[in-house]
Structure 1
Amino acid sequence: MGTPQTGLITNEAFREIFQSMSEGIIMVDTRGKIVVANPVAEQLFGYATDELTGLAMEELLPARYRSGHVNFRSAFNSNPFPRRMGAGRDLTALRRDGSEFPVEISLSFTKVKSELLVMAFISDISMRKKTEDALKRSEEQLIVYAVELEKKVEMRTEALNNSILKLEEEVIERKKAEEEVRKSLEKERELNELKTKFVSIASHEFRTPLSTVLSSASLIDQYNTRGESDKINKHVQRIKSSVNQLTGILNDFLSLGKLEEGKVDVVNETIHPREFLDEIKEEMNGVLKEGQQIVLDCTMEASEIVCDARILRNILFNLITNASKYSDVNKSIYITCRDQKRSVLFEVQDEGIGIPEEDQKHMFERFFRASNSGNVQGTGLGLNIVKRYIDLLQGTISFSSEYNKGTLFKVTIPTSTNPLPK
């Protein structure tokens, strides 16, 4: 390797190692001149054998690094110790043809005849850099892909959530529709039941009074021919009574029909309870049984209430009519009204047949009639209608009864009511 090299390397074993190393090795003196380079170093930089000897080390560096390297070399010479060069930085070397390539350099030193020589171990890391760059690009692509994938996931999640929300809304709408259909079917079933009950009750309840009317009308014609006025009057009263029964039945069905269709509106007006009950008493006297009388007791501090007079009249008419129907002749019916907190309490009490205990839980059901009602005319709708009317007035109804001793109904109505929303 020339005279300098021959003088420096005298140990044959060391020489063999130097020549066969897989790394490039360059030895530089303190002035920065290359004193020896192994074949691998020559190949790395594109020089022929011994062409590197005598060159300045800076000639193997790109021009942009040379001035900085001179300072670095001086610092190393003043404090030499083994180290990696350019830790944390990318190092680039310059080939003879002017091309650059990435390198990794480790520095060490030795002394030959008291002269400091710096040893640079140089590795071409082009393949590793390509791999690292490829990995970096792959990582960047993966990051980009991950971001895009995350966006797609977010978009699909949002679309899925929207689909779920839409599906939930459709399910809710479907349930509403099913509920409406169910209610319609239930309503239709109830109407069919109402019609069936009506036909059954009409055929039974209408037959007796109509037969009475027909029979009495025929007898009146005979008695009129014979001039028997007392018997004519008797049958006229029977006809009136039968007509009242038919009217009551028809009124029940008409009231129920309006309630079922929601056609009953609350129209409030000012009512004076004492005067109102006096009017009802006078009207009811014409339908009471022989010897029956209404005993009225109305002591109220409030002189007036705001309520629907028509609905309240229907409630009390129905309760008083029932009290009369299910009581014997010469029995009294007691009506009272009392002030309560923001309401008025109406009570209707009779001395009639009472309601069997086992029947009491069904009294407000449609078409229900107590087991002891016997031949007393009725549709089984009266108390159901009363309960619905009271609900419209935002009131309450309750009763107590003792078999064969009588019944007491209590109706509480607010002193001022607002119509319920439809």
Structure 2
Amino acid sequence: MNESNTLSLESEAGFKALFQYATVGILVVSSGGRIELSNPAVEKLFGYEKAELTGQLIELLVPEAFRHSHVHHREGYFKKPKARPMGYGLNLFARKKDGTQFPVEISLGHYQLDNESLAVAFVTDITERQRFNDELEAKVKERTLELTQSLEREKELNDMKSRFVAMASHEFRTPLSAILSSLTLAESYTKAEQEDKRKRHIGRIRASVKNLTVILDEFLSLDKVEQGKVEIERETFDLYDFAEDLVEEVNGMLKHGQHIRFSYNGARDITQDKKILRNIMLNLLSNGVKYSGEHQTVYLDINADNDQQKVMIRVRDEGIGIPQEDQKNLFNKFYRAKNATNIQGTGLGLTIVKQYVELLNGDISFISEPNQGTTFIIEFSLNYPGHENDLIDRGQ
């Protein structure tokens, strides 16, 4: 045996070993589309025995929906054969014997044997790669969303900070100026006959300090709610007596000629958080007084329906009302309606009220017409199930 024959046999043995033990599927296909050879990797990949593949059209391994078009592409390849990836830029799928479809990557080659054109297809199952890519893409989308939300949150915080500075500079300046001027004037009233004037200015100082306290309380309340650290303490109490006490308290805030008309219907004992309900009703009643003029009425109507186990509280005023274009933003932080900018307020009260109502698992709504007044409606359970204390933590 000469050296040329030895090299030929070695090359043939090397090709057979490569074909037999390759981890990638290899198919040899005739110009007529028939499978001439398949290696064990292909048989394992598609679930066929070698005898089941040999002589079959290659379209046997193509999903039915693509078989017709594949014949056209196959014929086109044999007219201009060259080594290239199949279906560049497309998502390719193959079909197993049991009908299962799976994603593949295919590279094509060609050669001549006894004047016959043959194509070689190298088939790789990319299911795991596709799964990894999908998971990676999902993670990228998730992180992109988180980043976008973080940027939006940062922008929102910056906007809130700007609104806070503008609001605080206005709301704090008024009572602080009143305190300073009243102190200066009170110091100048040294005579006994000027005692009434001193008392009047001391009263102004007290009122201004109270305003500052209200502003600070609103900031602290909102922060506590948003941090999810409000402790719900439910107790059974007489709602009628509770509301009467609140009306008496708000009577001290009334302008000249104003009064509160209170009506009550239904059950008296309820089980809810007394402190949170007080903050809700006090805020709405004081708003009714603040945004109403002299000689106008604020209405408080409560219906405690024992049959439906529901409490409905309506607070109605005859004041300036809320412009239609401002109503959608009414519960937003620091938002003031355009007709209320000259009236003292932080723009936080209704934000806090809404979140407090939600802590009671209740609902709040309103109807309003400019210059005709506003009605706020709150609904919540008459007797909340369970009397134990709950820690509401929205951050969890």
TM-score when normalising by structure 1: 0.59
Q: Which amino acid is 2:44 matched to?
A: K
- Cα distance change of structure 1 residues 271 and 176 upon mapping to structure 2, 3 Å threshold: farther
Find out whether 1:294 has 2:260 as its counterpart. yes
- Cα distance change of structure 1 residues 189 and 374 upon mapping to structure 2, 3 Å threshold: closer
Q: String of CA shifts for 1:163-208, please: whole Å, max 9, x gaps.
A: 3223322332333333223322222222222221111111111111
Backbone CA RMSD of aligned residues: 2.9
Find out whether 1:237 has 2:130 as its counterpart. no
Find out whether 1:178 has 2:144 as its counterpart. yes
Q: String of CA shifts for 1:308-342, please: whole Å, max 9, x gaps.
A: 22222111111111111112234332211103433
Aligned equivalents of 1:168, 1:270: Cα separation in 2: 55
Aligned to 1:189: 155
Q: String of CA shifts for 1:269-306, please: whole Å, max 9, x gaps.
A: 334311221232233233333443332222113x3333
Bigger relative contact order, structure 1 or 2, given CA contacts below 8 A and separation 6+?
A: 2
Q: Gaps spanning 5+ residues in structure 1: where?
A: 1-141
Aligned to 1:334: 299
Residue 254 of structure 1: CA displacement? 1.8
Aligned residues of 1:394 and 1:417 also touching (Cα < 8 A) = no
Aligned equivalents of 1:414, 1:318: Cα separation in 2: 20
Find out whether 1:415 has 2:379 as its counterpart. no
Residue 226 of structure 1: CA displacement? 4.9
1:151 to 44, 52, 55: 44
Find out whether 1:318 has 2:283 as its counterpart. yes
Aligned to 2:126: 160
**Where does 1:33-72 land on structure 2 (aligned, <5 Å)?**
none
Aligned to 1:381: 348
Aligned equivalents of 2:322, 2:272: Cα separation in 1: 30
Find out whether 1:396 has 2:363 as its counterpart. yes
Aligned length: 281
Residue 368 of structure 1: CA displacement? 2.1
Aligned equivalents of 2:381, 2:143: Cα separation in 1: 37
State, as a whole percentage, how many aligned pairs show the same letter.
42
Aligned residues of 1:245 and 1:377 also touching (Cα < 8 A) = no
Aligned equivalents of 2:189, 2:233: Cα separation in 1: 49
- Cα distance change of structure 1 residues 150 and 413 upon mapping to structure 2, 3 Å threshold: same
Aligned residues of 1:295 and 1:334 also touching (Cα < 8 A) = yes
- Cα distance change of structure 1 residues 179 and 308 upon mapping to structure 2, 3 Å threshold: farther
Q: Which amino acid is 1:296 matched to?
A: F
**Where does 1:87-98 land on structure 2 (aligned, <5 Å)?**
none
2:213 to 224, 235, 247: 247
- Cα distance change of structure 1 residues 228 and 327 upon mapping to structure 2, 3 Å threshold: same
Aligned to 1:268: 234
Aligned residues of 2:319 and 2:373 also touching (Cα < 8 A) = yes
Aligned equivalents of 1:229, 1:331: Cα separation in 2: 34
1:279 to 245, 249, 262: 245
1:204 to 151, 170, 173: 170
- Cα distance change of structure 1 residues 293 and 156 upon mapping to structure 2, 3 Å threshold: closer
Q: String of CA shifts for 1:237-290, please: whole Å, max 9, x gaps.
A: 211221222122222222222233333343433343112212322332333334
- Cα distance change of structure 1 residues 161 and 318 upon mapping to structure 2, 3 Å threshold: same
- Cα distance change of structure 1 residues 156 and 317 upon mapping to structure 2, 3 Å threshold: closer
Q: Which amino acid is 2:219 matched to?
A: F
Larger Rg: 1
Higher strand share: 2
Counterpart secondary structure, 1:237: helix
Counterpart secondary structure, 1:369: coil
Aligned equivalents of 1:161, 1:307: Cα separation in 2: 57
Counterpart secondary structure, 2:163: helix
Q: Which amino acid is 1:234 matched to?
A: R
Aligned residues of 2:264 and 2:302 also touching (Cα < 8 A) = yes
Counterpart secondary structure, 1:354: coil
Residue 386 of structure 1: CA displacement? 1.5
Aligned equivalents of 1:351, 1:149: Cα separation in 2: 83
- Cα distance change of structure 1 residues 234 and 177 upon mapping to structure 2, 3 Å threshold: same
Aligned equivalents of 2:201, 2:125: Cα separation in 1: 83
